[in-house]
Amino acid sequence: MDNTVDRVTAFAKAIVNGEPYDARTTYGLNEIACCKRHLNDLKRQGSDDFPYIWKPERAQYRINFAECLTIGEGKKRQQLKLREFQAFIKGSQYGWVHKDTGFRRFRTSYVQVARQCGKSTDNAENTVYYSNFDGYMYPQIYCVATKEDQAKIVLKEAIKFIETDGDLEDEFKIQEYKSLITAKRTGGEVKALGRDSKTISGHRPYYASVDEYYAHPTNQMYKEMADGAVELDESLVSVITTAGFDLTVPCKELYDYCVSIIQGDYIDDTQFIYIADMDKDDDIWDEKNWQKSNPLWSEKRLNNLRASAVKAKAMEGDELRNFITKALNEWYQASRKQYLNLRKFEECGSNTTIEDMESKECYLGLDLSSGGDLTSGALEFPLGGGKYYFHSHSFMPCNRLQEHRQTDNAPYDMWVADGLITLTETLGGYKTDYKYIIQYYKNLIKKLNLKLRGIAYDPHNASAFLQDLEEFGVDCVEIVQSCKSLNDATDDFKNTVDATSIDYDKKNKLFIWSFKHAVTVSNSFGEIKIDKDLRVKRIDPCDACIDVHKLVITKKDEFNASSYVTDEMLDKLWG
């Protein structure tokens, strides 16, 4: 065992130490963090809180199998030779096992690299192996994408491996017209599956390749695979993707989650992660940074990237967007109407909670829904020095939850469980009972001894609510929902986010989700307010924030003005 080649650990050490390795000299922080995770896990393997052990011989066995395959595409056949980052991925997925059961550690995998870095080839090789050579009888293997035609890409790559090798041809039966490969040794089946396939439920994948996850508008296919494998002792759902230009898709959420894991914010020992991308402040035109996103590095790739960069810089638009997301593997906010710089907004999130605001001054903003939609409130705490903390909470009738979960494609049930939404049960459970809102904030103010100084409310649907608001004993200010009225608050909130001077609980996923769907609209004078980008996307928490922020900055301006006007000035003014 001591003499076993350990390419996985050798790669991890080289990247962490910044050594020139495998044609590259520059590495991104996320790739380094992925490698540090492996090295740290080696130190704690087999412990009570980490019941996994590293078996380099298993990793090398898996790498050796891959390198026995033959690439048939091109002018001549050539043996598959893994680059070191590919060996790291494949070896890690197979070499970590549970110390007691021997089952593989990783059940899900997230790999994000630039285009043409061998993602589909890697998962095609996995498809060949897990379908017929891992000792599991009758495995269900799926190649998954948004459309069945896209899903066939990995399946066809697997077919190429099989048809190029005479020995492999005897092990499989290929029915490409059915998008089906049958593994003769195990009785397993490989199928291509898209959202447009006739059936997308009832699957129990031993291995699933989820291709170009950035293009999936929902997590339906991914969850179908992951949930279907829950009863298996070991399985692997492997996501392969580049970055995308829609920051609201589930892939971006999974990317953020994986980054949180490798940065140590969360622990998920069954999730494998390999991300090769540039650092957030990197110059996209600096060639040395391109290696970070392109681990399949070569002089040829550099020249091709140079040519793409020339076009992207000159043509901008779609050419630039494509260069940033596909060549540089960087998530890119494409919509010019997107309200916030979402990277900056996410940076503002912290571990600060509403309990940390005990005894502080605050203002309340309310966005009141009609009927059974989402209703939201936002408490804003001026912290001094131009900094603000926001606490967001929402309300929804209990009998409208499932309806909105489906129409909005949003996990409202999870947000209820996380305490981000209060379900109202009176009025038949179909209309929001505003008494729940009053009671929520009364309880919170009393519990934390908050000093409420004012309430901002959207006048829409508020007429029957005003008398209840007066119970708080503070000024209640109507906020007109027009570009003219909201322009200053909308602009100031954005600038405050850009300066990372707002703070909120980063665990409030509903709050973050709502801002991802906020865009700006303007009037003929160029004044702006926020709006939602799609009919079913809710931005009520955002609206409540802008309403209360208008009240806060108005009060600040009034205070500054009263501080500035002295008795002497008034005497001069009035003679």
**Is 70 strand, coil or helix?**
strand
Is there a contact between 171 and 158 (Cβ–Cβ < 8 Å)?
Answer: no
Residue 555, CA distances (Å) to 70, 104, 358, 455, 559 in order:
71, 59, 21, 12, 6
Phi, psi of 193 (to 5 degrees): -140, 125
| pLDDT > 90 in the chain, percent | 69
- In terms of Cα–Cα distance, which of 569, 566, 551 is closest to 478? 551
Phi, psi of 546 (to 5 degrees): -65, -40
Using 50, 70 and 90 to split pLDDT, how confident is the model at 198?
Answer: low
Contacting residues for 366 by C-beta, under 8 A, at least 6 apart? 375, 376, 377, 437, 455, 456, 457, 458, 462, 544, 547
| Spatial distance between the Cα atoms of 155 and 152, rounded to a whole number of angstroms | 5
pLDDT of 406 above 90 = no
pLDDT of 207 above 60 = yes
The pLDDT assigned to 427 comes to: 77
Phi, psi of 519 (to 5 degrees): -120, 175
| Spatial distance between the Cα atoms of 417 and 570, rounded to a whole number of angstroms | 57
How does the average pLDDT of the chain come out, rounded?
89
Contacting residues for 353 by C-beta, under 8 A, at least 6 apart? 505
DSSP label at residue 323 = I
pLDDT of 382 above 80 = yes
**Is 419 strand, coil or helix?**
coil
**Is 475 strand, coil or helix?**
strand
Tell me: the pLDDT tens digits for 441-475?
999 999 999 999 999 998 776 666 788 888 899 99
Residue 356, CA distances (Å) to 151, 346, 350, 391, 441 in order:
48, 20, 12, 11, 16
Cβ neighbours around 471 below 10 Å, total: 9
AA identity, residue 397:
P
Q: Where are the beta strands (DSSP E) in 469-571?
A: 475-478, 502-505, 518-522, 528-532
- In terms of Cα–Cα distance, which of 292, 295, 324 is closest to 308? 324
Residue 78, CA distances (Å) to 49, 209, 389, 396, 530 in order:
44, 24, 59, 60, 56
Using 50, 70 and 90 to split pLDDT, how confident is the model at 149?
Answer: confident
Tokens of 333: 């906010």
pLDDT of 558 above 80 = no
Residue 296, CA distances (Å) to 138, 227, 244, 299, 398 in order:
34, 32, 20, 10, 51
The pLDDT assigned to 534 comes to: 53
| Degrees to nearest 5, angle at CA 420 with 218 and 499 | 80
Tokens of 165: 């090798």
The pLDDT assigned to 372 comes to: 66
Using 50, 70 and 90 to split pLDDT, how confident is the model at 370?
Answer: low
Residue 487, CA distances (Å) to 296, 528, 536, 549, 557 in order:
48, 5, 24, 11, 15
pTM comes to 0.72
Across the range 75-96, mean pLDDT stands at 94
- In terms of Cα–Cα distance, which of 211, 232, 230 is closest to 221? 211
| Spatial distance between the Cα atoms of 217 and 534, rounded to a whole number of angstroms | 13
